[in-house]
């Protein structure tokens, strides 16, 4: 029998912390719009069923979980960096700043922040990076759902202003349709000018 795909080891929460925040980002890859982050502190006495990496959930499921997360969490917050800030800082640094803003916006201060991925922003509390955290840590899953829904909705709003780009479909990611729209219509204010395909369209590469 074929060996089952190896499961990720369950995440072991560090001991001695009362309030744990999970942090995740959405929107590092797109050519347009903000990079959006969220921070969530869940209530251990009020569990939420069905949390998972937002990309693994259907849009319907994400939209159903969102109000439940907001209602049951001890605290949640959204942080972001604009296209201008991304162009000034670079996408990695902008993501770190957006994460700092999400943590800073929490009404309850955590004593530990668990960050999805392999690096942590500088924070005033202890932090730990968790690879594939959105699959292994409920707090990070909840943060990924909030960030994804917020950013997707912003792309749908942008789509209403600029229907010719198809943002509601590709959410600003570098798809063939998006490249073709840039070729045909140029770029808009919300495009990230430091990203190669946008630079090329602006003739500044």
125 within 8 A of 113, measured Cβ to Cβ: yes
Is 159 assigned to a binding site? no
Is 164 assigned to a binding site? no
| Residue carrying structure tokens 């749908």 | 156
Question: Whole-angstrom Cα distance, residue 3 to residue 54?
Answer: 27
Please state at what angle helix 138-161 crosses helix 59-72, rounded to 10 degrees.
120
- Which residues fall within 8 angstroms of residue 121, CB to CB, at 6 or more apart? 96, 97, 99, 100, 115, 127
Question: Whole-angstrom Cα distance, residue 79 to residue 82?
Answer: 10
Bridge partners for 137 per DSSP: none
Is 24 assigned to a binding site? yes
Strand ranges inside 82-201, DSSP E: 112-116, 126-130
149 within 8 A of 63, measured Cβ to Cβ: yes
Nearest alpha-carbon partner for 147 in 86, 29, 87, 62:
62
Question: Whole-angstrom Cα distance, residue 127 to residue 114?
Answer: 6
Q: Which residues are annotated as a binding site for a divalent metal cation?
A: 24-25, 116
Q: Which residues are annotated as a binding site?
A: 24-25, 116
């Amino acid at each position: 029998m074929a060996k089952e795909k190896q499961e990720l080891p369950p995440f072991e929460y560090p001991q001695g912390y009362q309030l744990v925040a999970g942090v995740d980002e959405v929107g590092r890859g797109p050519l347009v719009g903000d990079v959006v982050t969220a921070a969530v502190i869940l209530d251990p006495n009020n569990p939420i069923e069905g949390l998972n990496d937002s990309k693994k959930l259907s849009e319907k499921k994400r939209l159903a979980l969102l109000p439940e997360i907001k209602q049951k969490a001890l605290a949640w917050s959204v942080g972001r960096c604009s296209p201008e800030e991304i162009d000034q800082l670079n996408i990695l640094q902008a993501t770190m700043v957006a994460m700092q803003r999400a943590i800073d916006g929490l009404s309850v201060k955590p004593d530990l922040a668990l960050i999805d991925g392999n690096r942590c922003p500088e924070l005033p509390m202890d932090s730990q990076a968790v690879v594939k955290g959105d699959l292994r840590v409920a707090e990070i899953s909840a943060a990924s759902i909030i960030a994804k829904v917020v950013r997707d909705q912003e792309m749908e709003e942008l789509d209403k202003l600029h229907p010719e780009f198809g943002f509601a479909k590709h959410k600003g990611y570098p798809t063939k349709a998006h490249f073709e729209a840039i070729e045909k219509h140029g770029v808009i204010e919300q495009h990230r000018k430091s990203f190669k395909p946008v630079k090329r369209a602006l003739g500044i590469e």
